[in-house]
Structure 1
């Protein structure tokens, strides 16, 4: 976005859509707490996070788009996505909570989001520990948050 006026027009629509996508992801996560092997719930979370990343990209909200993509990648690349245990689901919930909180911090006049990425990095590290991955050699092309 090039001007504050463009942000003031586009941001409310984005925030409404982002809220819906995060809410849908939360519903899917709750469902997975009850029924672990529900591939529809996993697919729904993957779709919602991908869509959120795309919408954030449209507004150049890089921190939100990259964090959403990284979470989605960890779910999609899980060794056993239909066998996520409570700690993995809790870690994913914490990521979704942080995303919701970060959406509230977007400056409505400029569209800027100033934040320290350390909490995102820490949550990604936790999710990575809780959800064993198939193969990290084939990471997606976009820049992922650095996890030590």
Structure 2
């Protein structure tokens, strides 16, 4: 948990940076709808998600940092990035939408994000189904539950 003084100074800056990183990820995703195998757009989205995770870590926003890292991992671990079909891109869009919604739910006094991880788990499972993975042993549901305990 962060102190109230810390939140008053750092949270607005974090939220602004997080919104910009999510907007950048959305731009990359929109580009992938047009050019499915654009490695620059894929790298841009992965980098934006990692930066978001790092920024969230610095404020101890574990739910946001871990979710961002999981999404990035699933993109990075794709068996074949050119297989990003409409359903895969839609699943990634749903993840970015949830991240944006979670940012709005951060308690500005305590920095806590009071929520369960069920929607994150469901979306990660959907992305895993839509984007075949190189490493089949990765199971986001178990990993998120380990983190939240």
Common topology (TM > 0.5)? yes
Aligned residue in 2 for 1:145: 144
Q: Is the 8 Å Cα contact of residues 56 and 64 (structure 1) preserved in structure 2?
A: yes
Aligned residue in 2 for 1:71: 71
Q: Is the 8 Å Cα contact of residues 56 and 64 (structure 2) preserved in structure 1?
A: yes
1:61 aligns with 2:31: no
Matched residues in 2 for 1:70 and 1:62: separation?
12
Residues 53-132 of structure 1: matches in 2 within 5 Å? 53-132=53-132
Structure 1 residue runs of 5 or longer lacking an equivalent are: none
Matched residues in 2 for 1:132 and 1:96: separation?
19
How many residue pairs match? The answer is 144
* 1:48-86 Cα distance to aligned partner (Å, 9 max, x none): 000000000000000000000000000000001122000
Q: Is the 8 Å Cα contact of residues 2 and 111 (structure 2) preserved in structure 1?
A: no
CA shift, 1:14, in A, is 0.3
> What secondary structure is seen at the aligned counterpart in 2 of 1:21?
helix
Matched residues in 2 for 1:131 and 1:138: separation?
13
TM-score (norm 1): 0.92
Matched residues in 1 for 2:117 and 2:39: separation?
31
TM-score (norm 2): 0.92
Structure 2 residue runs of 5 or longer lacking an equivalent are: none
CA shift, 1:133, in A, is 0.1
Matched residues in 1 for 2:89 and 2:138: separation?
24
Q: Is the 8 Å Cα contact of residues 33 and 86 (structure 1) preserved in structure 2?
A: yes
> What secondary structure is seen at the aligned counterpart in 1 of 2:43?
helix
Q: Is the 8 Å Cα contact of residues 33 and 89 (structure 1) preserved in structure 2?
A: yes
Q: Is the 8 Å Cα contact of residues 7 and 109 (structure 2) preserved in structure 1?
A: yes
